Amino acid sequence: MNKLILGRYFPGDSPIHKLDPRAKMIAGIAFIFISFMAKNGQGLILLWLFTFFVMSLTKIGFRVFFRGVRPLIWLILFTVFLQILFTAGGIIYFTWGPIKISEFGLINALFIFSRFVTIIFVTTAVTLTTKPMELTDGLNFLMRPLRFLHVPVDELSIMLSISLRFIPNLLDETQRIMDAQKARGAVFGEGSLFRQMKALVPIFLPLFSGSLNRGEELANVMDVRGYRSELPRSSFRQLTWKIKDTVCMFVILLLIAAFAVLNLVID
Amino acid sequence: MNEQIIQVKDLTFKYEPAKNNTLSSVSFAVNKGEWLSVIGNNGAGKSTLALLLIGLLKPQSGSVFVCGMPLNEETKWTIRRHAGIVFQNPDNQFIGATVQDDVAFGMENLNMPVEDMRQRVTEALELVGMLEHREADPSRLSGGQKQRVAIAGVLALHPDLLILDEAFVMLDPRSRRELLATLKQLRAEQGLTILSITHDMNEAAASDRILVLKNGSVANSGLPADIFSEEMDVEAPFSERLRRLLLSKERRTPESYLTESEWIQWLCK
Amino acid sequence: MQIRLNQVSADYQLGPVHSPRVLQDVSLQIAPGTFTAVVGPTGAGKSSLLKVLNGLLLPKSGWAEVGNIKIDSKTSKKALKAVRKHIGMVFQFPESQLFAETVEQDISFGPLNFGASPEAAHDLAIKMIRQVGLDESILQQSPFSLSGGQKRRVAIAGVLAQEPEVIALDEPTAGLDPSGKAELMSLFKQWNKCKRLTVILVTHDMETAARYADDAVVMDQGKVVYHGSVRSLFADSEKLNRWQLDVPEARRFQLAFETYSGIRLPNVCLTEEELAEALIGVGRV
């Protein structure tokens, strides 16, 4: 039912798996910005080298990463083609009406493609090596400064973790309800778009109603177990920052420095 | 003088805007260390009673004292540190991402330091036999296992009172038996006071005293043997059903409720 | 309506979760009009067995036959829909599948899907709501406004409304109190006897199996390890032990009595009624 590899945890004990989720998330987000620092051929090579380095460190086969790119490949190719066909600059190789295939266009396309794909690969490396709960823990920590803006970070965090916890349940229930309705002669995925949407009502409504029920029961349980959002709460789940995490941050800084140097030297 | 963990006086409640009371002038007490079962047919108000005792509902009139404290909007938070409840649906009370996270939830709410939490989680999981599953996520657990975790979550707070609101009704017969055995053990080892709302007569038979609710009022209370012998329209454990059947056929039967082994001895006299 | 499985093997797939060989080389024949309990430990494949019967789970190898419709890995969607009319399936906690605006609409969902006219569906709704012991006035209410027990009956009425020849039940009495259980099970028993509805019941509750079913199928690790009468199954303590099946209370009482007293009762007692008769028969009461 869900083929999106982007969010799926892949068990393992590689160096990347063992990093603190905060380090990984910071590194991942930093990388997105760093990728824009690649402005020349050497920068591009560095970008790809670093990406492959991270990918191989996860000890997860490259095929899994490629599967993560696949859903987005059309968007990427579309953007790339737009660049190729409509950006003018430098030597023009081919013209036909509004279409101009030029040197700039091709180079830009290469850079855009590289950024897209390396960003996907690196962020996938983060989500493949970090359990969803760890991601929430990391997110919780990173969102802390937002408290000053009166954003209810702790509530959002607990909402997120409870939602995550119930995803397998939702999957199960959806399948069960689908089976039950199929057993009563319901047909899914056939007919006009309208008909297909209408056919989903016997699935969505029970799911929705069940979720509302569940929400109410959970709220009661939380209440009875003393949950009061306005009072300080401790956290059983603890993240411990280790030396390897500092090393990770250091590597990112090195990468930034490397790009900065490249951009200074080459030009 | 036996300390009373629960004192209920003239408790009356109805769900607005209904016309009839769900509970009418219910009064009873539970002594420290006692196991009281509350039985009664559907609609008798059993679950409503549980919700009232834990402060999720407010009665129209009457009073509830838990651990010597009057239950009201202010005290309910304190009372909930001494009394815990386990509901019927194993999934809809499992909040944590893993077993140990869930057990810790109540303690997190009390802002307890991590080291204390860690110790109590281990202790509680040991008591319910779930220690080896401490890092499991709920999708891999059976209903019985999830209910054990729920009980552990309550035990971690070292409560005086455990309320079970038909906690085993969604479990298969085997899990029910195993959990009942665990409860008996907990009671023996920890001296826990238990109030269990149930329609499982084996569960009721294991308790010290039974309270019978009918149409929202207390109809009877007493020892299991007495209740099973007296209350004809309430479902009974197997040995009692056999006795009633033979009675209706006007056969020689024991005069009152007997357990299975007592029955067999009686048959061989 | 004859039901046959011939060397059916099947895997189970739900999203990323793949369970191989939930059914392994299962061959089974269920005669029309019988009341069969399917028992066995969790994960034995009981629910998967039911799902093969109405094509919710397609065999990887082997085939199933319901009436004259054959189900194998290549069966068309059309054929599957035809099968589903003949096999009504009641899942665990069926009340969670209700969705329509009114009870009548929900009950009519099945019949309408299977080609009944709106008038026929309307009549069926009235007929079935009575069958499950509810009043007609409930037909215009929203299913979400009903109590849990009523919802369950409405869901069952919805399945009955398809007028199936076979009804497959997966723990239909889960979560009910003893009287609710007895009421529901006697309805199924009644339909089995009076309408000659073939009933296939998946359950963990040996009391229910002993009291209501005539035949039993025991499954273990995807295989059928026993198919015979319920009575012979419960008479064989070794088998019950081997497959971790609970002994019904009456039977347990009987065995304890026989061991203690040395007196053998004339027959295998599966219910308190049979036990009472047997005890009377040997003059103990």
pLDDT digits (tens, 9 = 90+) for A105-117: 888 889 999 999 9
Average pLDDT for residues C175-188, to the nearest whole number? 92
* Residues C102 and C20 occupy one common structural domain: yes
* Residues A140 and A158 occupy one common structural domain: no
Query: Do A206 and C97 make contact, defined as CB atoms within 8 angstroms?
Result: yes
Check if B15 contacts C (Cβ < 8 Å). Answer: no
Domain span including residue A211: 153-224
Q: Which chains touch C (3 or more CB pairs under 8 A)?
A: A, B
Residue C158 has pLDDT above 80, yes or no: yes
* Residues C268 and C202 occupy one common structural domain: no
Q: Identify whether C196 is part of a domain.
A: yes
Mean pLDDT value across chain A: 89
* Residues C265 and C209 occupy one common structural domain: no
Q: What residues have CB less than 8 Å from B98, skipping those under 6 apart?
A: A133, B134, B135, B136, B137, B138
Check if B140 contacts C (Cβ < 8 Å). Answer: no
* Residues A38 and A134 occupy one common structural domain: yes
* Residues B99 and B120 occupy one common structural domain: yes
How many structural domains are present in chain A? 2
In B, which residues are within 8 Å of C260 by CB distance?
264-265, 268
Query: How far A2 CA lies from chain C's nearest CA (Å)?
Result: 6
Check if B252 contacts C (Cβ < 8 Å). Answer: yes
* Residues A164 and A219 occupy one common structural domain: yes
pLDDT recorded at residue A6: 45
Q: β-strands C17-30, C3-14: how paired?
A: antiparallel
* Residues A139 and A162 occupy one common structural domain: no
Q: Identify whether A233 is part of a domain.
A: no
pLDDT recorded at residue A10: 87
Check if B89 contacts A (Cβ < 8 Å). Answer: yes
How many structural domains are present in chain C? 2
Query: How far A95 CA lies from chain C's nearest CA (Å)?
Result: 48
pLDDT recorded at residue A82: 85
* Residues C224 and C267 occupy one common structural domain: no
Average pLDDT for residues A218-230, to the nearest whole number? 95
Query: Do C177 and B169 make contact, defined as CB atoms within 8 angstroms?
Result: yes
pLDDT recorded at residue A267: 67
* Residues B144 and B118 occupy one common structural domain: yes
Check if C275 contacts B (Cβ < 8 Å). Answer: yes
The CATH number covering residue C97 comes to: 3.40.50.300
* Residues C114 and C201 occupy one common structural domain: yes
* Residues B215 and B161 occupy one common structural domain: yes
pLDDT in tens, B23-66: 999 999 999 999 999 998 876 689 899 999 999 999 999 999 99
Query: Do A233 and B100 make contact, defined as CB atoms within 8 angstroms?
Result: no
Mean pLDDT value across chain C: 92
Query: Do B173 and C207 make contact, defined as CB atoms within 8 angstroms?
Result: yes
* Residues B143 and B246 occupy one common structural domain: no
Q: Identify whether A229 is part of a domain.
A: no
**To 10 degrees, the CA torsion angle through C111, C113, C118, C123?**
10
* Residues A133 and A249 occupy one common structural domain: yes
Q: Identify whether C242 is part of a domain.
A: no
- pTM score, whole prediction: 0.90
In A, which residues are within 8 Å of C77 by CB distance?
187, 190
Q: What percent of chain C has pLDDT over 70?
A: 98
pLDDT in tens, A2-13: 334 445 788 888
Q: Identify whether A207 is part of a domain.
A: yes
Domain span including residue B100: 4-236
Interface of A with C (CB under 8 A): 1-2, 8, 171-173, 175-177, 179-187, 190, 201-203, 205-206, 209-210
* Residues C194 and C100 occupy one common structural domain: yes
Q: Identify whether A248 is part of a domain.
A: yes
Taking one residue from A and the other from C, the number of pairs with CB-CB distance under 8 angstroms is 70
Confidence of residue A97 (pLDDT cuts 50, 70, 90): confident
Check if B170 contacts A (Cβ < 8 Å). Answer: no
Q: What ipTM was predicted for this assembly?
A: 0.91
The partner residue sitting opposite B92, judged by closest CB among A214, A236, A237, is A214
* Residues B150 and B256 occupy one common structural domain: no
Q: β-strands B23-31, B4-13: how paired?
A: antiparallel
Q: Which chains touch B (3 or more CB pairs under 8 A)?
A: A, C
* Residues B145 and B22 occupy one common structural domain: yes
* Residues C137 and C277 occupy one common structural domain: no
Which two structure tokens, joined as six digits, stand for B232? 């004809």
**Per-residue DSSP letter, B172:** -
Q: Identify whether C62 is part of a domain.
A: yes
* Residues C89 and C14 occupy one common structural domain: yes
In C, which residues are within 8 Å of B265 by CB distance?
260
The partner residue sitting opposite A217, judged by closest CB among B85, B87, B108, is B87
**Furthest C-alpha separation in chain B:** 66
Helices (H), C195-229: 206-212
* Residues A89 and A214 occupy one common structural domain: no
Residue A1 has pLDDT above 70, yes or no: no
pLDDT recorded at residue A147: 86
pLDDT recorded at residue B185: 92
The partner residue sitting opposite A226, judged by closest CB among B92, B106, B117, is B106
Check if C21 contacts A (Cβ < 8 Å). Answer: no
Cα distance between residue B237 and residue B67, in whole Å: 32
* Residues A188 and A250 occupy one common structural domain: no
Q: Identify whether A236 is part of a domain.
A: no
The partner residue sitting opposite C284, judged by closest CB among B142, B173, B267, is B267
pLDDT recorded at residue A261: 92
Q: Would you write out chain B's pLDDT as a tens digit for each of its 269 residues?
A: 468 999 999 999 999 888 889 999 999 999 999 999 999 887 668 989 999 999 999 999 999 999 999 999 999 999 999 999 999 999 999 999 999 999 999 999 999 999 999 999 999 999 999 999 999 989 889 999 999 999 999 999 999 999 999 999 999 999 999 999 999 999 999 889 999 999 899 899 999 999 999 989 999 999 999 999 888 888 889 999 999 999 899 888 888 888 888 988 888 88
> In this structure, which amino acid lies at residue C106?
D
Nearest chain B residue to A165 by CA: give it.
Answer: B97
pLDDT in tens, C81-118: 999 999 999 999 999 999 999 999 999 999 999 999 99
* Residues A157 and A140 occupy one common structural domain: no
Cα distance between residue C144 and residue C98, in whole Å: 8
> In this structure, which amino acid lies at residue C18?
H
Q: Identify whether A166 is part of a domain.
A: yes
- Dump the DSSP string for A145-182: GGGGGT--HHHHHHHHHHHHHTHHHHHHHHHHHHHHHH
* Residues C84 and C190 occupy one common structural domain: yes
Contact by Cβ (8 Å): C13, C22: no
Q: Identify whether C240 is part of a domain.
A: no
* Residues C89 and C113 occupy one common structural domain: yes
Query: How far C57 CA lies from chain A's nearest CA (Å)?
Result: 10
* Residues B200 and B245 occupy one common structural domain: no
Burial letters A165-189, b for 16+ CB under 10 A, else e:
bbebbebebbebbbbbbbbbbbbee
Q: Identify whether A232 is part of a domain.
A: no
Q: What percent of chain A has pLDDT over 70?
A: 97
How many structural domains are present in chain B? 2
In B, which residues are within 8 Å of C275 by CB distance?
242
Please report where in the chains the tokens 């160096």 appear, as a residue.
A15
Query: Do C99 and A202 make contact, defined as CB atoms within 8 angstroms?
Result: yes
CA-based nearest residue to C222, from C33, C59, C16 = C59
Residue C222 has pLDDT above 80, yes or no: yes
* Residues B180 and B85 occupy one common structural domain: yes
Query: Do C96 and A2 make contact, defined as CB atoms within 8 angstroms?
Result: no
Domain span including residue C285: 248-285
In C, which residues are within 8 Å of A195 by CB distance?
none
Contact by Cβ (8 Å): C205, C173: yes
Burial letters B125-139, b for 16+ CB under 10 A, else e:
bebbebbebbeebbe
Cα distance between residue A25 and residue A261, in whole Å: 25
* Residues A84 and A197 occupy one common structural domain: no
Residues 217-246 of C with CB under 8 A from A: none
Query: Do B56 and A214 make contact, defined as CB atoms within 8 angstroms?
Result: no
* Residues A98 and A201 occupy one common structural domain: no
Contact by Cβ (8 Å): B186, B127: yes
* Residues C172 and C33 occupy one common structural domain: yes
Q: Identify whether C122 is part of a domain.
A: yes
* Residues A89 and A20 occupy one common structural domain: yes
pLDDT recorded at residue A7: 58
* Residues A123 and A168 occupy one common structural domain: no
In A, which residues are within 8 Å of C84 by CB distance?
182-185
Query: Do C253 and B238 make contact, defined as CB atoms within 8 angstroms?
Result: yes
Residue C198 has pLDDT above 90, yes or no: yes
Query: Do B114 and A232 make contact, defined as CB atoms within 8 angstroms?
Result: no
* Residues C266 and C138 occupy one common structural domain: no
Nearest 5°: phi and psi at B19?
-85, -35
